[in-house]
């Protein structure tokens, strides 16, 4: 089961406008219509640095292949992940919603079109058979005293992992804009959409986020 949970927010829409106004030795004490106009201007003209003064921290749980894809977009973000070098608890595996067909364009990756009936069931059967075997081999190696840093080699990319993801509002806006698009991998898009929904509903930063994601 994928998890996207916000743990901490440092700053607000007012933080953004005051970071911008310091250039002119100005400051707002309350967030108002004049400040909204400034935030719209900053977002529309690519002035990202004021948005970098708001910091966010998330806890994410997702398949390993999704984590690796998302971490490619982690410019300006700090990542601390569960390490299978140190922990040896029973692995959990991603359950695909469906098996998508390969897209003719390699850049796209997959189509929305899925397999049906018997084919889907056969893929599921083979997939879960392999996951069970990987889990059994891993647990037997751990029970036999093999170091977790080596036993983890038998675990597949569909294994669930968990990490803390911390960075600025500006950095998360870049990640979401890249991964929420239609040509992004579906599983990554799900994470990006969850981050987006969390932030657009957080009153303290909702206006900045809405401007950065072109809602305003």
Domains along the chain with CATH numbers: 3-83+158-212 (3.30.1360.170)
Residue showing tokens 């991998």 = 185
Residue showing tokens 């894809």 = 69
pLDDT in tens, 44-101: 999 999 999 999 999 999 999 999 999 987 788 999 999 999 999 999 999 998 888 8
* Mean pLDDT, the chain, whole residue set: 92
Q: Given this model, what pLDDT does residue 24 score?
A: 84
| pTM for the structure as a whole | 0.91
Residue 117: band (very low, low, confident or very high) from pLDDT cuts 50, 70, 90: confident
- The sheet carrying 55-63 orders its strands as 3-10, 55-63, 160-168, 77-81
Q: How many residues can be counted in the chain?
A: 216
* 85 is known as an active-site residue: no
Q: Given this model, what pLDDT does residue 74 score?
A: 76
Residue 116: band (very low, low, confident or very high) from pLDDT cuts 50, 70, 90: confident
d(CA 81, CA 164): 6
Q: Given this model, what pLDDT does residue 151 score?
A: 97
- From the candidates 179, 189, 214, 215, give the one annotated as an active-site residue: 179
Task: Indicate the range of 25-34, 65-74, 106-115 predicted with least confidence.
Answer: 106-115
Q: Given this model, what pLDDT does residue 201 score?
A: 96
Q: Given this model, what pLDDT does residue 108 score?
A: 64
Alpha-helical regions (H) of the chain: 13-21, 33-44, 64-71, 117-143, 148-151, 169-179, 186-200, 206-212
d(CA 52, CA 199): 15
């Amino acid at each position: 089961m994928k998890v996207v949970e916000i743990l901490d927010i440092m700053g607000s829409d007012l933080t953004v406008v005051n970071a911008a106004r310091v250039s002119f030795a100005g400051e707002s004490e309350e967030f108002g219509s004049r400040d909204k106009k400034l935030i719209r201007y900053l977002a529309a003209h690519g002035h990202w640095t004021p948005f970098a003064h708001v910091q966010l921290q998330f806890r994410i749980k997702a398949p390993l292949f999704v984590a690796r894809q998302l971490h490619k977009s982690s410019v300006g973000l700090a990542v601390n992940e569960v390490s299978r070098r140190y922990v040896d608890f029973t692995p959990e595996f991603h359950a695909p919603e469906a098996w998508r067909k390969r897209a003719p364009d390699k850049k796209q990756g997959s189509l929305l079109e899925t397999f049906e009936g018997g084919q889907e069931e056969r893929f599921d059967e083979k997939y879960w058979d392999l996951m069970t075997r990987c889990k059994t081999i891993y647990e037997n190696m751990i029970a036999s005293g093999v170091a977790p840093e080596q036993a983890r080699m038998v675990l597949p990319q569909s294994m669930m992992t968990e990490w803390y993801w911390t960075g600025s509002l500006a950095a998360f806006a870049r990640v979401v804009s890249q991964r929420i698009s239609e040509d992004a991998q579906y599983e990554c898009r799900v994470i990006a959409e969850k981050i987006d929904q969390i932030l657009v509903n957080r009153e303290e930063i909702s206006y900045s986020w809405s401007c950065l994601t072109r809602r305003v």
